Amino acid sequence: MMKKLVLAYSGGLDTSYCAVHFSKDLNYEVHAVSVNTGGFTQTEINSIEEKAYAMGVTAYKNINAIETYYQKVVKFLIYGNVLKNNTYPLSVSAERIIQAIEIIEYAKKIGADYIAHGSTGAGNDQVRFDLIFQTLAPEIEIITPIRDQQLTRQQEIDYLQSKGIEMSWAKAKYSINKGLWGTSVGGEETLTSKNPLPEEAYPSQLQKEGSEKIKLTFSEGELMAINDEEGLPQDTIETLNNLASQYAIGRDIHVGDTIVGIKGRVGFEAAAASIIIKAHHLLEKHTLTKWQLQHKDYLANWYGTHLHEGLFLDPVMRNLEAFLESSQAKVSGDVFITLKPYHFTLDGITSNHDLMNADFGSYGEENKGCTAEEAKGFIKIYANQSKIYQNVNAK
């Protein structure tokens, strides 16, 4: 009997090599699987499927996981206002977790003996895929020919041509990875520490001048409407991205520490993610207490760090999610934003839970909560420890 193998398949050079190698050289029954976490058109899905069968796979499956991705990951990134190194909204690294889970669950469902991916030994994805696969299905053997054989791009091309696979394998100048929560952009400039990506490297080019005002409506931390047009949160994200990307909003370059210990640099554009995180954070600053905001800040940072490093299945992530979700009970209201070329401004909010309530006073103007004598007494007690320290150590 042929050995049944599930291949995490993107249609690129690495996974094409894997598909041909497993099906033609090793006689595996190859089930190629792609997971759509946003960014795929039906035409692109059809093209990937056609290419997979040309590589000799037995079956191809495209799994739509956009809603799963939002419910299991993206909404918690919003709750936590997660920006890796205060810059990157974890666009691609977050996707890999859901893709790995969906692929291994499919492998278990069809009774696969092996599972494979096309990651090299130099990046983060090998860790994310292997970690998820080993945890959820330790009985399924993981095979990674690109990593194990240390294949060069040219060696892969030569091999495919020797098997009669004549396709254009010319490496694009810029690698683009698009998903619901943003698009990563890599090129020769991101391999350096100095050079910026040129304008043409970004998929979304500036189409609109001037400015445009919009209103985002949040309900318990989730974006539920844009300009009063309601929809599912994952749909409102796509709508906002289509709108804001016309202003070329959300571009930046992230520099960070990889799981394997080296520094990495990647460009990205994430119009919707950039706006939603900042808008949500502004609403939280009006509706949460000082201590909620303080504890959310460091817990959300840990959530983003663990997610980035592939630790999604550790139970601490469910603990952190429970905290983040409970913090959103009063985070409801409207945020008003002005879109402009290459940037946006947060104009303000309205909320029934706004703690900046004039009934209790106006900062710098009027305090209705205590008398002048009460304020002076409070300040005297508040200063006690500092005065004791200074007095003791002055001697």
Map residue 359 onto helix, strand or coil.
helix
What is the rounded distance in angstroms from the CA atom of residue 257 to the CA atom of residue 264?
6
Average pLDDT of span 123-142: 95
Query: Pairing mode, if any, of strands 175-179 and 182-186?
Result: antiparallel
Domain count across the chain: 3
DSSP annotation of 204:
S
φ, ψ (nearest 5 deg) of residue 342: 75, -5
Q: Are residues 149 and 209 in the same domain?
A: no
pLDDT tier at 171, thresholds 50, 70, 90: confident
Average pLDDT over the chain, rounded to whole? Answer: 94
| Pair (14, 142) in one structural domain | yes
pLDDT of residue 364: 65
Is 41 inside a domain boundary?
yes
Has residue 101 got a pLDDT over 80? yes
* Token reading at 269: 């554009």
300 within some domain:
no
CATH number at residue 205: 3.90.1260.10
Question: How much of the chain, in percent, has pLDDT values that exceed 90?
Answer: 84
Q: What is the residue whose two structure tokens read 């996707």? A: 95
Beta bridge partners, 177, equal 184
Task: Report if residue 294 sits inside a domain.
Answer: no
Owner of token pair 């504890």: 295
Report pLDDT for 357: 79
| Across 10-29, average pLDDT | 94
82, two tokens: 């997660």
Say whether pLDDT at 362 is over 70.
Answer: no
- The answer on 143 and 189 residing in a single domain is no
pLDDT of residue 144: 96
Same domain membership, residue 389 and residue 267: no
Predicted confidence at residue 358, as pLDDT, reads: 66
Q: Indicate whether 130 and 202 sit together in one domain.
A: no
Question: Which pLDDT score is estimated for 260?
Answer: 86
Judge if 250 and 271 occupy the same domain: yes
The domain of 74 spans 3-162
For residue 309, give both structure tokens.
Answer: 């490093």
Return the DSSP state at 189: G
Question: From the CB of residue 376, how many other CB atoms can be counted at a distance below 10 Å?
Answer: 10
Distances (CA, A) of 224 to 135, 217, 331: 35, 6, 12
State whether residue 333 is helix, strand or coil: strand
At 93 the pLDDT is: 85
Residue 382 has pLDDT above 70, yes or no: yes
What's the confidence (pLDDT) of residue 180? 96
Confidence grade of residue 361 (pLDDT, cut at 50, 70, 90)? low
pLDDT at 317 over 70: yes
Question: CA-CA distance, 209 to 94, in Å (whole number)?
Answer: 32
Answer whether residue 260 is part of any domain: yes
| 59 lies in the same domain as 151 | yes
C-beta of residue 82 within 8 angstroms of C-beta of residue 299: no
CA 63 – CA 243 distance, rounded (Å): 27
